[in-house]
Amino acid sequence: MSNSLDTLLSQGTEELRLVADEASLRSWQNRWFGKTGEISNALKRIAEIPAAERREYGQKANSIKEELQAAHDAALLTFREKALEEDLKKGSVDITLPGRRPAPGRLHPSTQTLRKILGIFGELGFEPFTSHEVEEDEVNFGLLNMPPHHPARDMWDTFHTTRPGWILRTHTSPGQIHAMRKAAPGPLRVVLPGMCYRYEQITSRSEIMFHQVEGLAVGEKVHLTDLKGILLAFIQRLFGDKRKIRLRSSYFPFTEPSMEVDMDCILCAGKGCSLCKKTGWLEILGAGMVHPTVLKNGGYNPETHSGFAFGLGVERIVMLLSGMDDIRQFWANDWRFLKQF
C-alpha cells in the first residue's frame, strides 16, 4: 500500500509539472481533489486497509494530499502573477485611471430618525439629556410611582442583571428622576433619547430592544394645553403641517392624567385603510401630566410646580414614515434593507 501511495505522489507531481495554464490547472485539481478524484479515492480506501497498517496508511495519504495541495497553490500563484505581468505589458490595465470610490457608510435608519426627532425638539426648546441603560430597580420603577409588587410593573417585562436590584431599563422614564434632581428647583425642559430593553417575544411588531425618546418639562406654570401644543407642533413638523391629533384617556403610573396621542392616518387622511385598521387614526405616543409623587421624588414641590411628560418609540416612527411592516429588520444587519435609507 505504501508503494501505491508513492506512485500516486509521483504521478500527481508529474501531471502538475505538465500543466501550462490556469484552465489546465483547474482540470488537474478536479482530477485529483474532486469528489471522485485520486486523492479522495485514496482516502476512502483507508477502511479497506488491515487494522495494523491503517494508521500508517492514513498519515501518509494525508501527507501526500497536503503536499499536492501546496504544489497546486504555488502553481496557481505563479500563473496569476504571470497573467498580471502580461496584462501590464499589453497595456490592458490603465494605471492612470482613477481608483474605484469605496462605498460610503450610512447612518442606521433609527439613528437618522432619532436625529431628526431631536432636531425638532431642539427647535421647540428641549435640551437632550442622556441617562443610564442599566438602572436600579428603585429608579426604573419605585421612584416612578411603582413600589414593589405594584401591578403596573407587569406592563414592562424586565431583564434582570446578576447584581441584585439592578436591571436593564425598560423605558427612558427613569431618566426623568435624574434630570429633575439635577435641575430642581429650577425650570426644566429636556428630551431623553436612548435604548430600552424588554424581555418579550420577538415578532414583526415587538423587539427586545428599541429606541425611545422621553420628553419632560417642569415649571411653576406648566399646563395640559402646553403639552398638547408641543405635541401638535412636533407631529406637524415631522409628518406634515396638515396633520391632526387626538388625545385618548389612558393609564401610566407616573402621569396623571395620562393619555394616548393619535394622529390622523398619513395614508388615508383619516378615511380608514389597512394601515390604520380602518379607524382613520394612528397611535403615535403616550403622554400625561407628571404625577405629584414623581415630581416629589425628583426634588420638586408638587404644590408649586407641575410638569408634563411624553414618550415615543423611534422605530415605530420609522415604520410609519417608510411603510415598514416588520420591526425585526432594524437589527437583522441586512445591507439590502439598510441601504434604502
DSSP-derived secondary structure for 168-187: E-SSSTHHHHHHHHHHTTS-
Among 234, 214, 195, smallest CA distance to 330 is for 195
- Order of strands, sheet of 166-168, starting from the edge strand that comes earlier in the sequence: 134-136, 166-168, 159-160
Over its C-alpha atoms, the chain yields an Rg (Å, rounded) of 34
| Predicted confidence pLDDT, tens digits, the chain (341 residues) | 556 777 888 888 888 888 888 888 888 888 888 888 888 888 788 878 888 777 887 888 888 888 888 888 988 898 888 888 887 777 666 678 788 888 778 889 999 999 999 999 999 999 999 999 999 999 999 999 999 988 888 888 899 999 999 999 999 999 999 999 999 999 999 999 999 999 988 888 788 999 999 999 999 999 999 999 999 999 999 999 989 999 999 999 999 999 999 999 887 877 888 778 888 898 999 999 999 999 999 999 999 999 999 999 999 898 888 878 888 888 888 888 888 88
The C-alpha cell at 177 is 428622576
Per domain, the residue ranges of the chain are 2-90, 109-338
What is the helix (H) or strand (E) element at residue 305, kind and residue range? none
The C-alpha cell at 20 is 501550462
Among 289, 162, 145, smallest CA distance to 216 is for 289
What is the helix (H) or strand (E) element at residue 163, kind and residue range? none
Task: Find out whether 121 and 191 touch, Cβ atoms under 8 Å.
Answer: yes
Burial of 93 (0-12, 13-18, 19+ CB in 10 A): exposed
Class of domain 109-338: alpha beta
* Alpha carbons 184 and 182: distance in angstroms, whole number: 6
| DSSP three-state, residue 86 | helix
pTM as predicted: 0.68
What is the helix (H) or strand (E) element at residue 254, kind and residue range? none
* Alpha carbons 108 and 32: distance in angstroms, whole number: 48
CB neighbour list of residue 300: distance below 8 Å, 6 or more residues apart: 180, 184, 185, 218, 307
